[in-house]
Structure 1
């Protein structure tokens, strides 16, 4: 176990970073690494380890769905009326039906087997859609109409529906249990309602344990307890299939925002860190599970089926989902890249028909593998690429999304006795938020010796802080404000420089000018601070 895990961590991360350098979605590099390490290439990940891939994928999907729930906005969802609910039904259902008809023509499948293929392909990938939508929310694209929230909710609901229908179809095709169809509406309603109820209960438990009883002391402990209970909820759903475990996890995150927003904000940061590791295992194992040898002569017809399912089936579904809404034609067109990616569900269920000996199972597996190879990287690339062209940019709600950009603190210093105090305060704040410090000195007269002293002070006081020293010429307040805007500083730290008369005891002229003009928070320190 240890050797494959070592290779997954190192090569998976390296493949993702290399893909980013080439302006390709990181998951593409991770999937390629998985294909190389998998049983069909180097066999570093042997079948025994690959058999555990489903468990790793389950953990990773739990993490990403918790992130999705912690990023949902009830106010935006309520503004959309039934759009999110319709997105949870029409696109996947229409795609499954169109693919079933196409498979009957191209593969000579019967109706039940064609619909089985439609369910495998109709499911949407939370591993691609959730990070993409949360990224759009953090940047403000489509947030004014709640488009990312609607897509997130619709994707979760559609997977519940598709997996239920797939389970029934497996019984119908494999065992002839046609009477199970009569219970489908009741099962869907029960899975969704009980899933949301379990999510609400778990959210209440987490607030009681982590906030009211204070059983934990750190963010890491909060995250581990939450992840452990969420994973237990998914395992319980597997043993007692009366509710959707994945919907329950997403609901937990959503209800936490309403019950205790500060706890939700902390957990959002913790699950962001968990996802950094979880995505490596998810996509590397995903690549290793793709069986390229089953594609054979199926890839041509498979691409045709995927195109028909997306461009015909899903287009009809998107039109029905947004009918009567306030979405314009560009926002509706955005659903093409935003709501089409396939990955995790196809990897999990694509091989089941073949394993059960269902006729046509090899073709179902081949099309499932093809859908992952084509739509997952395409979706990961298309979401950030087309969002600026098709969506309007609104104001970001920091209470509903994680702000992941690197924080920068601007410490404006003179070569006087206040410089060490400013640097100490900058270092203190930077250590709390893992921020970078820009030490800015505005030169007004040639000064060699004091600048050497400033460099020495920075090396001593900022030794464990990522920092840079900048010297510019010009007017002091203007240059401080310019550098602050150029580097998007999150805070400006300055000293209290004096001016003649009694105001010098309160604030200096430079400090006052910056306070009056800066849109960035300003912290003023004195020599005795």
Structure 2
């Protein structure tokens, strides 16, 4: 499998980066990389890796749901009232019903099989929606009203509901019909939700006890590994004991960790962000490799009509009812079309089950599910960041609830005095902790005889492992420090209390004092 892993990571990563530079969502390139590598085009991937695709997808979904939980904001969800809950029920049911009606008309399905297709198509993709919503939160779009949080929570609840109905319908279609007990559906749905939340609460308490109180781990990597193993254990147990939703339990674990230990949640957020960089490649490449292209042809037109009208009629009706009498304006309601329609992981996981069980229409179900992935996953990944600035209002980002994609830049203002070495050492210390880039600023004028070569050599020695840029300018010291800090949007200024030798003519510390009083960003003063 080493060759398979190399092909998946190589084609997936470089394809994704190529797409990113073309301003195309990377997952599109990853899906097409999987199609090319799969057994329907080049057949470069072995059957072993393809047979393991479902298990690898589960791992990827666990990672993305933990990221979602660690990014939820309790206050924003509370302010939304019942909107998030309604988003978890009404759009999914609306689409499922609309699809079932269309399937009866266009595919000559019976009502039960049509509803089975509706459950498959109505499920939302955490692999597309979660990164998209977390990205919006990191940029501030819609955060004032908690729109990304409501979509994240609603998406998780809707998948739980449709998977429950799907399992009931499969029981009916593969037995004598006595297993379909609709009267128990509300109780089962409520039980799965309550069980998932309670198990998530217990899991988060256990993690805090093990990691924070017992200090079982020593670094972020170990904390992420322990948390990831527990999350995967929850999913495995939920498949054996059906009284709770494992995926909801994973998401709840991340949510409660923010409440119980914000420092641990912040560390885990960074750890799972790193894991997702690799997991998403496997998820989308293997998704592309397992899409049955050979069965798409005969159902393409009818399938496309079902997908489009199921979304435009059923899902939009659900969106309208979900946001009725809420504080969402018309533009924000319209954003749901872009932010809440993508399908990928759930369809890939369950669409082949009806065919494997010998249910009539199984091939059409599999083909239309594959078509929904090819159409809505790339479209959703593109539409979320494209329409958010047009339809949502930008608010203040809460860095305690989401990872902020922000490159730290430090400004180190130096001269040729003995303070240069301690200033550079302090700069290097801070830069290593925050993985920051450093702008080294040296200010000269015509009256000075600066030994720039020795200064540059000292900078390169002390900042050898730091991404840095040396900037030599002429002008008034305080003015240039403030100008450069604003131009490069630096996060901190590091400087000596007594700077350039000409500063000695001024009051001791007057330059650093002026910068401290004038700078809108933090200033670190280094003394002998």
TM-score over 0.5 (shorter chain): yes
Residue equivalent to 2:286: 285
Q: In the aligned structure 2, how far is the partner of 1:448 from the partner of 1:17?
A: 47
Residue equivalent to 2:445: 444
Please give the residue correspondences for 1:462-501 in structure 2 after superposition, counting only pairs within 5 Å. 462-497=463-498
Segments of structure 1 that go 5 or more residues without pairing to the other structure are none
1:313 aligns with 2:318: no
Which moved further from structure 2: 487-496 or 377-386?
487-496
Q: In the aligned structure 2, how far is the partner of 1:437 from the partner of 1:474?
A: 21
After the TM superposition, which parts of structure 1 deviate over 4 Å for at least 4 consecutive aligned residues? 446-449, 498-503
Residue equivalent to 2:131: 131
Helix, strand or coil for the counterpart of 1:342? Answer: coil
Please give the residue correspondences for 1:87-126 in structure 2 after superposition, counting only pairs within 5 Å. 87-126=87-126
Q: In the aligned structure 2, how far is the partner of 1:362 from the partner of 1:369?
A: 11
| TM-score, scaled relative to structure 1 | 0.97
Say whether the 8 Å CA contact 2:169–2:180 is kept in structure 1: no
Please give the residue correspondences for 1:229-248 in structure 2 after superposition, counting only pairs within 5 Å. 229-248=230-249
Say whether the 8 Å CA contact 2:168–2:180 is kept in structure 1: no
Residue equivalent to 1:457: 458
Helix, strand or coil for the counterpart of 1:143? Answer: coil
Q: In the aligned structure 1, how far is the partner of 2:15 from the partner of 2:208?
A: 39
1:14 aligns with 2:14: yes
Please give the residue correspondences for 1:336-485 in structure 2 after superposition, counting only pairs within 5 Å. 336-445=337-446, 449-485=450-486
> 1:295-335 CA deviation, whole Å, 9 max, x = no partner?
01211111111110111111101100000100000000011
Q: CA deviation at 1:449?
A: 4.8
Q: In the aligned structure 2, how far is the partner of 1:72 from the partner of 1:42?
A: 42
Please give the residue correspondences for 1:215-226 in structure 2 after superposition, counting only pairs within 5 Å. 215-226=216-227
Q: In the aligned structure 2, how far is the partner of 1:303 from the partner of 1:475?
A: 66
Q: CA deviation at 1:392?
A: 0.5
Q: In the aligned structure 2, how far is the partner of 1:390 from the partner of 1:322?
A: 15
Which moved further from structure 2: 454-463 or 415-424?
415-424
Say whether the 8 Å CA contact 2:498–2:504 is kept in structure 1: no
Q: CA deviation at 1:501?
A: 9.3
Please give the residue correspondences for 1:244-263 in structure 2 after superposition, counting only pairs within 5 Å. 244-263=245-264
Q: In the aligned structure 1, how far is the partner of 2:36 from the partner of 2:311?
A: 29
Helix, strand or coil for the counterpart of 2:355? Answer: helix
Say whether the 8 Å CA contact 2:59–2:232 is kept in structure 1: yes
Q: In the aligned structure 1, how far is the partner of 2:451 from the partner of 2:163?
A: 70
Q: CA deviation at 1:443?
A: 2.9
Residue equivalent to 1:30: 30
> 1:251-301 CA deviation, whole Å, 9 max, x = no partner?
000001111111111111111111111111111111111111110121111
Helix, strand or coil for the counterpart of 2:144? Answer: helix
1:448–1:340 CA distance, 2 compared to 1 (3 A): farther
Q: CA deviation at 1:485?
A: 2.2
Q: In the aligned structure 2, how far is the partner of 1:423 from the partner of 1:118?
A: 62
Q: CA deviation at 1:32?
A: 1.0
Q: CA deviation at 1:415?
A: 2.7
Please give the residue correspondences for 1:37-56 in structure 2 after superposition, counting only pairs within 5 Å. 37-56=37-56
> 1:202-243 CA deviation, whole Å, 9 max, x = no partner?
000000000001011111111100000110111000111111
Please give the residue correspondences for 1:498-517 in structure 2 after superposition, counting only pairs within 5 Å. 504=508, 508-517=509-518
Q: In the aligned structure 1, how far is the partner of 2:137 from the partner of 2:47?
A: 39
Say whether the 8 Å CA contact 2:142–2:395 is kept in structure 1: yes
1:199 aligns with 2:200: yes
Say whether the 8 Å CA contact 2:411–2:492 is kept in structure 1: yes
Helix, strand or coil for the counterpart of 2:443? Answer: strand
Residue equivalent to 1:58: 58
Helix, strand or coil for the counterpart of 1:442? Answer: strand
Q: CA deviation at 1:458?
A: 1.4
> 1:179-224 CA deviation, whole Å, 9 max, x = no partner?
3322211110110000100000000000000000101111111110
Please give the residue correspondences for 1:293-332 in structure 2 after superposition, counting only pairs within 5 Å. 293-332=294-333
| TM-score, scaled relative to structure 2 | 0.97
Residue equivalent to 1:3: 3
Residue equivalent to 2:271: 270
Residue equivalent to 2:142: 142
